[in-house]
Structures are given as C-alpha cells and as structure tokens.
Structure 1
C-alpha cells in the first residue's frame, strides 16, 4: 500500500471513531486533526470536505460491525442460533462494543434523521442489508424445517432488529448490559415458542 493510501486509511479509521462517539455535528475538523496528527492541508489532500470524511468513516465503521456479525453467525449451525448470534455481538455493549461508541447505524440514524440526508441514506442502506441477511437466515430455517412454514420473514427480521437496536440503546443509556441481556433472552424464548417447528 502506498504512503498516500495508508494516510487516507488512517484518517478514515481515526475519524470513524470520533464520528461514532461525538456524532457528525459534534465532530470538528480540529478534532480530526488532533486525533490523526495530520495537518489541515494533509487532510484536504485526501478529502474535499468533512462530509466526505464522514461518509467514508461510516462505511468503515459499518463494515467492521458487519464483519463481526458474519463471524458470529458463521459459528452457528442452526437458523435460530444464527439469529441469536447478532445479539451476542453486542452482549457487552457497555464495556466492549464491536466498534467504539456503539452501533454506527443507530448513532448515524438518530443524529442524521432530519439533518444529513447522505449519512441517513447510508444508515438506511445498512439497515436494509442487515434485514436482508436476517431474512435469508429465516428463509433457510423454513427450508430446512427448523422454522414454521408460515413464518413471516419480514416481520421477524424487523422484530429482531428492533430488539437488537433497542437493547443497544437502553444498555448504553443506562450503562448496564441488562437490557441487552433481557432482549436476547426474550428473543430466544420467542423463537422457541413462536417460530420453531414442532417435531
């Protein structure tokens, strides 16, 4: 990798951490300069604006979390186990989140809902990608006979994401992983009682 490419990657990585903790509005160019150790001219040699940095930083942060999800899902054999794996990635969101600052999709969606359409669109794309992955797992579970044939994959995927993101938000707000733990347990019980095919 060329020096210029390494510098650009360094800016993206450090900026992703700042944006995910302080938000787009709360992050200044001076914050990025301080954290990267790169002067203003060096930043602008690689990026045309703070907006461009933020979009690249979001992509980077989201890709790391997606990789954590994939690694967790790949360790499970059953469809229900793969769905629960999403929750396990955030089981210690208070002390050890998969990316510093919590869920990039949630943080971006909340802050940029009415303020930054490009970042909001990136978060929406992330949501749709996660929903597609979860719906694929549910369809696999139906095909293998693990889940009931009439299971609504759209509704279950939306329910799963809502419980996951709600658990993340409440646990971070309260400083206690109990919300994430309760949501994980509740989702597991729901799968067993309402989704699994009786054999």
Structure 2
C-alpha cells in the first residue's frame, strides 16, 4: 500500500501497469527530490527501480512525466505527515502552532528525503520546467490555504486577535519556514532551520489574544 495524491492505494486493487507505475514513482521520488530533474539520470532511475529504461519509458512518456509524478508523491507524503500531527490537536491555537512545530527537528517526522519538495522543485524548475514550477507553486498555495483556514477559524472563535490579517500572517509563516529549509540545505544544520521556525512560532503567538 502506498500513499499518493491524497489517497491510500492498495496494490491488490491495481492493475499490473498501475503497480509498475506506482513502483517507479515510489522508487524514484527521493532521487528527484534530492538531485532534481536535471541531476537525475536514467541510470539513477533504473538502479532505483531495478527496471530497464525500456520498462520505465514503457509506462511513462518521458523523464518529465516521471518527475512530475514523483513530485506529486513527495508533496502528498509531505502534507500527510504534517496533517496527521495537526489532526491530533484539539484547539485552533495548537493546530496553528503544529503547522510550524511539525517541521522542527524535535518533531522527528520522516519527511521525504531531500527536504521540502516545493522549495526543491521551485529551484530545480527555474525557467526551464514550467509544469514542475506550477506544481510547486500550487503546493505553496495549498499550504497557505491550510494556514489561512485555521487562522480565520481562530479569529471567529475569538482565539486570535480580530485585526489579524490571515493571508499576511500565513505568508509570513511560510516565508520564515521556507527560509529555514533553505538554511538547512546550505548548512546541513538543523539548528539553523530550527531558529527560523522558532521565529515563525513567534509570529503565530503574536496573533493570540491575551
């Protein structure tokens, strides 16, 4: 069973072709997230999947199609891990905090290898892979929507300050979090990324009513 595009997929319910495609996606997802589209070779893909290049391209039109499916897979798992933690929270305030704490090293969540798939994809796509850039941008917008929804709910409940700008606050939190991921990519130090997440937490706490 794998998790893909926000659904659990049971191998018993899949055709042979679907199982092969799912295997290719799951096997190459970490490679694309770490090495990027340009950096991932067909040799990397055949080694990871234990399939021939003919088998891979018999199931996907080209490397671009595999990369896009791998991104969907990574993003779905990335979001699922965070949402599972958020769903454990019983208050709106704690849910907002968890959207930040989940990325902190103390949470010890098993995120996709290579870090944030959205940031990786945006850097990787640049101006050369528009379809991937769009998918990464959509992922950021989903994250923003999650935060805006919980902030607006908190304002409605009287938990957050009524003058709070939900979208502005959400973007502030995302910017700090993404910069934290970038700092980790540069320094390989979780201390650097954790410090940025702690600043993001201060932003979240600043909208809580006294």
TM-score of the two chains, using structure 1 as the length reference:
0.92
Aligned to 1:90: 103
Structure 2 unaligned residues grouped into runs of 5+: 1-13
Alignment map for 1:2-21 (pairs within 5 Å):
2-21=15-34
**How far is the alpha carbon of 1:83 from its aligned partner?**
2.1
Structure 1 unaligned residues grouped into runs of 5+: none
Q: How many residues align?
A: 196
Aligned to 2:42: 29
User: Any idea what SS the aligned residue of 2:76 has?
Assistant: helix
Alignment map for 1:52-63 (pairs within 5 Å):
52-63=65-76
Aligned to 1:196: 208
Aligned to 1:175: 188
Aligned to 2:122: 109
Q: Does 2:143 correspond to 1:143?
A: no
Q: Does 2:140 correspond to 1:124?
A: no
User: Any idea what SS the aligned residue of 1:33 has?
Assistant: helix
State whether residues 177 and 200 of structure 2, in contact with CA within 8 Å, keep that contact through their aligned partners in structure 1.
no
Q: Does 2:58 correspond to 1:49?
A: no
Structure 2 Cα separation of the partners of residues 135 and 165 of structure 1: 17
Structure 2 Cα separation of the partners of residues 51 and 175 of structure 1: 28
Aligned to 1:160: 173
State whether residues 13 and 60 of structure 1, in contact with CA within 8 Å, keep that contact through their aligned partners in structure 2.
yes
CA-based RMSD: 1.7
Structure 2 Cα separation of the partners of residues 157 and 149 of structure 1: 15
- 1:144-186 CA-partner distances (Å, limit 9, x unpaired): 1110111001100000111111111112321211123222322
